[in-house]
Amino acid sequence: MKTIIEPFRIKVVEPIRITTPEERRRLLGDVGWNLFGLHSDDVIIDLLTDSGTSAMSAEQWSAVMRGDESYAGSPSFYRFESAVRELMPFRHIIPTHQGRAAEAILFSIVGGPGRLIPSNTHFDTTRGNIEATGATAVDLVIAEAHDPDSPHPFKGNIDLARLERLLRDQGERVPLVMLTVTNNAGGGQPVSLENIRAAAEVARRHGKPLIIDGCRFAENAWFIKCREPGQADRSVKDIVRDMFAVADGMTMSAKKDAFANIGGWLALNDDMLAAAARNRLILTEGFPTYGGLAGRDLDAIAVGLHEIVDEQYLRYRVRTNEYIGEKLTALGVPIVQPVGGHAVFVDARRFLPHIPPLEYPGQSLAVALYEHGGIRACEIGTVMFGQRPDGTEVAADMDLVRLAMPRRVYTQSHADYVVEVFEDIVRRRSELRGLRIVSQPAQLRHFTARFEPLQ
C-alpha cells in the first residue's frame, strides 16, 4: 500500500479548542508576541517540542498501574534497568528526572574551568551544563551541516579530522568526547554507524571515553537502516545495540525516544565515575533506584523502550515529517534538507528575505503561524542564539523555525492543516513584518523576552 497509515488506533482523545484569528491576535499582544507565554489550550496544533509530549500506549498506562513506589529496590527500577540494558549494554544505569539532570551530574564531575567538551553539536541544555562548570563546549559537526541544501545523508556526523586535531593538540583539556544522536540543534540530522565507530576509535586512541547523548536514538537507527550501505536488512534493535556497543556511556532524555512524559538517565561503564555520579544523584535527584522519578515513570519508560524500536512505528514517524517537508517544498517554502527525524526546520531567513536577521524573521514566521493558524512552533535563530553576554546582539548562523512533531499525537489531517496554514502564509509573506524586543532577561531570552511588531 502507498499510504503509510498511523500504526495505532486512538482510544483516548483530548479535545482541541478552536480559536479565532481575532482571539489569537489579542493573546499575542497579552504575551508580548512570545509563544512560550501562551496557555497551551489556546494552541490548535502544538509543534513547540517533541519532548515529553508523546501519547503513551495502553501498555504504558497499564505499566503505570504496576509501578512500585518503594524508596529502595523497587521492581520498577529493575524493569527499567533491564529494558535500557537490552538496547544499551552499559554497566551502570542511573535514573534522572530528565536529560539535563543527567548532563548536570556528568559535567559536575568531569567539567570545570579550562576543560573542553567536543561533540557534533551540543544541545543547548548540554552546552549550558558544560558552561555552568566553567568548561567550554566545542561543536565539531561536518561542514555539510551548515548548508541547508546539502543532501548529505548523515549531516549529524562529527568531523573526525577536527576531533583528531583537538585531541592531539589539547587532549589534556578534554575529559570525554560526546555525540548527539540525532543532532537536534543541527536539524534533527542523523549520525552514521560508521561515524559513531570512527569517533569511538579516535576517542579510544587518545584514552577518552565516548558518551552518546541518545535522546533520539531510535530515529537515528532508523536512518542508519534506510541510508547506510549494508544496514538495510538489519533490525533497528541490532543497529541500536551497535551504536551503543562502542560507547562508554550515555545521557538520555526519556521524554523523546522512550515515549515517556518525564524521565531520563545517565549510563556509564566506568565504576569510579558511576560511584561519583550516584553520590551526586543522591544529593540532587534521589536514591539510585529511582533517581528523580516515581516507580510508575520507570515502568512507563521500560515499556516505551520496547515500543520505540518498532519499525512500523519508525517508518510512520519519519514519514510524517517527510510528508510535511515535501508539501512545504512544493509550496516554495525553504526547509533544511533532508528532513530530520523529529521535526521540519523551516529556513525563515530565506523565506522572508525582506526581514533582516536583527528583526527576527524566525520569530515573525512563528508568530504568523500562530496568528493565522493557531500553530505553535519554535524559533531557532537570532532570538535564541543572538544575545551576547555584554548585552549586544549578533545574527545567528541561520534563522530557523522548528516544527517539532510530538510522537503518536497528530494525524495526517493535522499535518494537512499545517500545510494549509503555510499556503495562507505564502500568500501573505510580503505583509509579514519583523519585531523589536521591548524587554529581555540577561540569558536564555527566547523563553521570556517580550516583543512588539514593527510597522
Residue numbers of the site for ligand F0G (CB under 6 A)? Answer: 49, 51, 98-100, 123, 125-126, 180, 184, 213, 215, 253, 255, 264
Residue 102 or 174 with smaller CB distance to ligand F0G: 102
- In the complex, least distance from residue 156 CB atom to ligand F0G, rounded to whole angstroms: 10
- Alpha carbon separation from 262 to 97, 101, 255, 292 (Å, rounded): 7, 12, 5, 10
Backbone angles phi, psi at 157, to 5 degrees: -60, 145
- Alpha carbon separation from 442 to 138, 386, 388, 449 (Å, rounded): 22, 12, 9, 10
Is 270 in contact with 249 (CB distance < 8 Å)? Answer: yes
- In the complex, least distance from residue 256 CB atom to ligand F0G, rounded to whole angstroms: 7
Residue 67 or 292 with smaller CB distance to ligand F0G: 292
CB atoms within 10 A of CB 415: 19
Residue 183 or 289 with smaller CB distance to ligand F0G: 183
Q: What is the 3-state secondary structure (H, E, C) of 307-345?
A: HHCCHHHHHHHHHHHHHHHHHHHHCCCCECCCCCCCEEE
Among 236, 258, 249, smallest CA distance to 208 is for 249
Q: How far apart are CA 351 and CA 353, in angstroms?
A: 6
Residue 185 or 333 with smaller CB distance to ligand F0G: 185
- In the complex, least distance from residue 253 CB atom to ligand F0G, rounded to whole angstroms: 3
In sequence order, what are the beta bridge partners of 46? 376
Residue 98 or 289 with smaller CB distance to ligand F0G: 98
Q: For 67-152, where are the alpha helices, taking DSSP H only?
A: 75-87, 99-110, 124-132
Q: How far apart are CA 295 and CA 67, in angstroms?
A: 5
Residue 129 or 337 with smaller CB distance to ligand F0G: 129
Which amino acid appears at position 455 of this protein?
Q
What angle, rounded to 10 degrees, do the helices at 124-132 and 99-110 form?
A: 30
- In the complex, least distance from residue 378 CB atom to ligand F0G, rounded to whole angstroms: 7
CB atoms within 10 A of CB 423: 13
Among 102, 85, 72, smallest CA distance to 264 is for 102
Instruction: Evaluate the omega torsion of the peptide bond into residue 121 and state whether it is cis, within 30 degrees of 0.
Output: no
Residue 178 or 273 with smaller CB distance to ligand F0G: 178
Residue 20 or 443 with smaller CB distance to ligand F0G: 443
The residue sitting closest to ligand F0G, measured at its beta carbon, is: 99
- In the complex, least distance from residue 219 CB atom to ligand F0G, rounded to whole angstroms: 11
- In the complex, least distance from residue 402 CB atom to ligand F0G, rounded to whole angstroms: 8
Is 97 in contact with 262 (CB distance < 8 Å)? Answer: yes
Cell of 358: 536583527
Residue 36 or 71 with smaller CB distance to ligand F0G: 36
- In the complex, least distance from residue 429 CB atom to ligand F0G, rounded to whole angstroms: 26
- In the complex, least distance from residue 124 CB atom to ligand F0G, rounded to whole angstroms: 8
Residue 96 or 440 with smaller CB distance to ligand F0G: 96
Backbone angles phi, psi at 113, to 5 degrees: -55, 135
Q: How far apart are CA 409 and CA 16, in angstroms?
A: 12
Backbone angles phi, psi at 427, to 5 degrees: -65, -35
- In the complex, least distance from residue 329 CB atom to ligand F0G, rounded to whole angstroms: 23
- In the complex, least distance from residue 40 CB atom to ligand F0G, rounded to whole angstroms: 14
